Amino acid sequence: MPDRRATPASPIGRPAARQETLDRISEGSLYTETEASFQAPERRADLIFAYNQTPPDQSSRREALLRRIFASVGERPLLNTPFSAAFGSRTYIGDDFYGNANISFVDDVDIRIGDGVMIAPNVTLTTTGHPIHPSLREDFRRFSLPIVLEDRVWIGANAVILPGVRIGYGSVVGAGAVVSRDIPPMVVAVGTPARVLRPITEADLEERGGLRH
- pLDDT of residue 11 exceeding 60, the answer is no
- pLDDT of residue 113 exceeding 50, the answer is yes
What span, in angstroms and rounded, lies between the C-alpha atoms of 166 and 139?
A: 29
- pLDDT of residue 2 exceeding 80, the answer is no
Domain count, the chain: 1
Percent of the chain with pLDDT over 90: 89
- pLDDT of residue 19 exceeding 80, the answer is yes
pLDDT score for 6: 36
Domain that holds residue 19: 11-205
pLDDT tens digits along 177-189: 999 999 999 999 9
Structural domain includes residue 22: yes
Smallest CA-to-CA distance from 128 within 111, 115, 103, 149 is with 111
Q: What is the CATH number of the domain that holds 48?
A: 2.160.10.10
Number of residues that make up the chain: 213
Structural domain includes residue 24: yes
Give pTM, 2 decimals: 0.90
Structural domain includes residue 41: yes
What number of other Cβ atoms are within 10 A of residue 48's Cβ?
Answer: 23
Give me the active site residues, please. Answer: 130
Structural domain includes residue 2: no
Structural domain includes residue 126: yes
What one-character-per-residue DSSP string does the chain give?
-------PPPGGGSHHHHHHHHHHHHHT--B-TTTTGGGGGGB-HHHHHHHHHS-TT-HHHHHHHHHHHSSEE-SS-EEPSPEEES-BTTEEE-TT-EE-TTEEEE-SS-EEE-TT-EE-TT-EEE-EE--SSGGG-GGG-BEE--EEE-TT-EE-TT-EE-TT-EE-TT-EE-TT-EE-S-B-SSEEEETTTTEEEEE--GGGGG--SS---
pLDDT score for 5: 38
pLDDT score for 94: 98
Report CA torsion sign: 99, 107, 66, 51: positive
What's the whole-number mean pLDDT along residues 183-197?
98
